[in-house]
Amino acid sequence: MSAQLKNVNIADINLGAPPPTELPLDIMGLFFFAYRDFTGDADALLERQGFGRAHHRVLYFVNLKPGMPVADLLDILKITKQSLARVLRQLIDNGYIEQVTGQTDRRQRLLFATDKGRELFANLSASQASRIEAAIGNLPAEAGHIVRQFLAGMVEPGDRPVLDGLKLTENL
């Protein structure tokens, strides 16, 4: 009689992938500190405006792709309409973003940064761009390409068309 495998819970089932031999704790820690410092300067500027990181994300994508429909922004950010509505209302009410009804589809709401919104985005991005340029500048010439490939590789495969549509993968 052959021995039968008894599963206590789903964690006991081997799904075919061997467990990692060593967790990349050093890379995980570096991600933490890099993200903390990458967002720090922008966070301080946002706080002075009464905004947070959600506002920054909306400003980033609206500046990256002017005329972006609200529906696309919801898909990119993977948040609820309710979550976006509060942030978007604040940005519109404070003159950073304007919302325009679509020409061909009147149900569509298209988002554009105002001059004030483009200026805030430029100020938020300046320190972040400098930090990235300095870090990549200290690496061999081909490193920028490798960093881009690495970051794109961290993104869920289903979101690759979104990266392509935003032209974030042009240098890969």
The 3-state DSSP class for residue 113 equals strand
**For 40-96, how does the pLDDT look when each residue is reduced to its tens digit (9 = 90+)?**
989 999 999 999 999 999 999 999 999 999 999 999 999 999 999 999 999 999 999
The per-residue pLDDT of the chain, averaged, comes to 89
Query: Which letter does DSSP use for residue 95 in this model?
Result: T
Over 80: is that where the pLDDT of 24 sits?
A: yes
Q: Which phi and psi angles does 79 have, rounded to 5°?
A: -125, 170
Q: How far apart are CA 65 and CA 61, in angstroms?
A: 6
Tell me the CB-side half-sphere exposure of residue 20, using CA atoms within 13 A.
Answer: 4
68 sits in which H/E element: strand 68-69
Domains of the chain: 25-138 (1.10.10.10)
Say what percent of the chain tops pLDDT 90. Answer: 78
Over 60: is that where the pLDDT of 18 sits?
A: no
Q: What is the pTM of this model?
A: 0.81
